[in-house]
Amino acid sequence: MNIVTASSQIAYCLTEGTEIHDEGQGIVVVSPFFQVAISPLGPGLKQVFSGLAQSPCSMRWINATIDAAHEEGMLMTCYRYLSSLMRHQMCHISVISESSGEPLATLYPTSASFQHKWIHVQPEQLYRLSRFAYMHRGEDEECWLESPLSHALLTVQSKLVADLLYQLATARTPLELARMTGEGSLDTVADVLTLLLMGNFAAATTDDAQLAEEHDVALRQWEFHDLLFHSRSRGGRHSNPLGGTYRFLYELPAQPVIKPAPWPVTVQLPQPDMERIQRTDPTLSLAMEKRASIRTYNEEHPITKEQISEFLYRVAHIKDVYTYGESGELTRRPYPGGGASYELECYLTVDRCSGLAFGLYWYDPLKHTLSLVREPDNDTERLLIDAGQSMGEDSRPQVLITLAARFQRVSWKYQSIAYALILKDAGVFYATMYLVASAMNLAPCAIGAGDSDLFASLIGSDYYQETSVGEFALGSR
């Protein structure tokens, strides 16, 4: 690690909830999650960590303190200890304004993979912001800079830093940035850049003013939203709460386990004979071997109401309603669902089906009924046309099954992974529909995209409460 001695405005600070306890020859650093013992310590290092326990300590002060104690050989050791604290999220690093003494920006490590590596900022070198970096307002009212390439977060605590981020959309040198911002000296700009480079939010450019990430074959094939979603719904690159935290348990009521439908029942579906089905069904291995996406149909003999009834019952009916702890009412269904939330709803846009009128229907998995949501019109026609085009066919599906999610059924309990769980549930539902359709000798096909705004408008829902997350075409072979 290269130690930069000229960075007078960079300071180390203990993270909230972290304490340093004197243990005679050494110290113990304690946070709510970790404990790090550092021993033995000479007078210089002891003074540095005693100072850190009281207030932020600048690099200049740390270096001068160790130098005054004639422990120059311990300087690298001191920064290794600080690196360890940063990896354990016990310590963070700020750029402090020389005039006000307030932080301009603060870098918070978020994982043990954080690299506390110093970069010598060169005045004539071009630097640029990563295309994966983004700024947003957090729930704490702070402005945060984040990136799926980073193992840290940066708080933007001044207009100067916000201006620097704006200018770094284009490759700039520190000298250019100092002139353009008009508020900070070259040293201040260099210190802010140091934090951006350390956090992997920005980097030096190549000779063609491009970042190395733009020549990286793997990164070039990641879209911004995909990599962000991947990194934030898995552990390792953030420190957000993750999993079943029940964060709204005492704030908001959970959504009902079964959707209270505003539409009256219009079709009572016949109960399938499950004993006969179990006797005559092909084996699982045969159904898996037969499974295929089929995009053409038997138009002389379209799918029937009885087949739709059996299909829906086998893939989605509610087998049992029960109560479980803080989750309240839950259900058991034929396919597995994350936390038994079962947020997915089945809507059927019927185009050609013997015994069932055209239109958009909602399936009640408890009563095994269909409710007419909407008569056929230009918007339901749009759904069918879009589905056909997505399948690469001129014809439309005989029946289009739209999977809609009641998002808060999952996000009421789960944090960071809620939408990822919903997509996993949709994938499991797809697999279940494929196997049942294969066993029934029907023509199934999963569809990769759909218009969620159009669908929310069709069913009269709030886009942020319930809308489509998947589409599936079904018909007769």
Whether domain 243-476 has CATH 3.40.109.10? yes
Q: Given this model, what pLDDT does residue 3 score?
A: 38
Helix or strand run (H / E) with residue 334: none
Find how far residue 287's CA is from the centre of its chain: 34
Tokens of 377: 């019109």
pTM greater than 0.85: yes
Contact 422, 405 (CB under 8 A): yes
Residues 6+ apart with CB under 8 A from 447: 387, 390, 391, 470, 471, 472, 473
Contact 18, 30 (CB under 8 A): yes
* pLDDT one digit per residue (tens) for the chain, 477 residues: 333 445 679 999 999 999 999 888 889 999 998 999 998 888 999 999 999 999 999 999 999 999 999 888 888 999 999 999 999 999 999 999 988 899 999 999 999 999 998 888 999 999 999 999 999 999 889 999 999 999 999 999 999 999 999 999 999 999 999 998 876 689 999 999 999 999 999 999 988 889 999 999 999 999 999 999 999 999 998 989 999 999 999 999 999 999 998 999 999 999 999 999 999 999 999 999 999 999 999 999 999 999 999 999 999 999 999 999 888 999 999 999 999 999 999 999 999 999 999 999 999 999 999 999 999 999 999 999 999 999 987 789 999 999 999 999 999 999 999 999 999 999 999 999 999 999 999 999 999 999 999 999 999 999 999 999 999 999 999
DSSP 172: B
Q: Which of 453, 447, 450 lies closest to 467 in space, CA to CA? A: 453
Whether domain 98-239 has CATH 3.90.930.70? yes
Letter for the amino acid at 73? G
DSSP 450: -
Q: How far apart are CA 348 and CA 365, in angstroms?
A: 13
Q: How far apart are CA 388 and CA 5, in angstroms?
A: 65
- How many Cβ atoms are within 10 Å of 5's Cβ, its own excluded? 12
Cis peptide before 174 (omega within 30 of 0): no
Where along the chain do its domains lie? 1-96, 98-239, 243-476
Is-same-fold flag (1-96; 98-239)?
Answer: yes
Q: Given this model, what pLDDT does residue 7 score?
A: 60
Q: Domain 1-96: which topology? A: Outer Surface Protein A; domain 3 (3.90.930)
> What is the largest distance, in Å, between two alpha-carbon atoms of the chain?
94
Q: Given this model, what pLDDT does residue 217 score?
A: 96
Q: How far apart are CA 198 and CA 87, in angstroms?
A: 13
Letter for the amino acid at 92? H
Contact 331, 258 (CB under 8 A): yes
Q: Which of 1, 50, 45 lies closest to 22 in space, CA to CA? A: 50
Q: How far apart are CA 151 and CA 115, in angstroms?
A: 8
- How many Cβ atoms are within 10 Å of 148's Cβ, its own excluded? 21
Letter for the amino acid at 127? Y
Contact 371, 263 (CB under 8 A): yes
Contact 192, 104 (CB under 8 A): yes
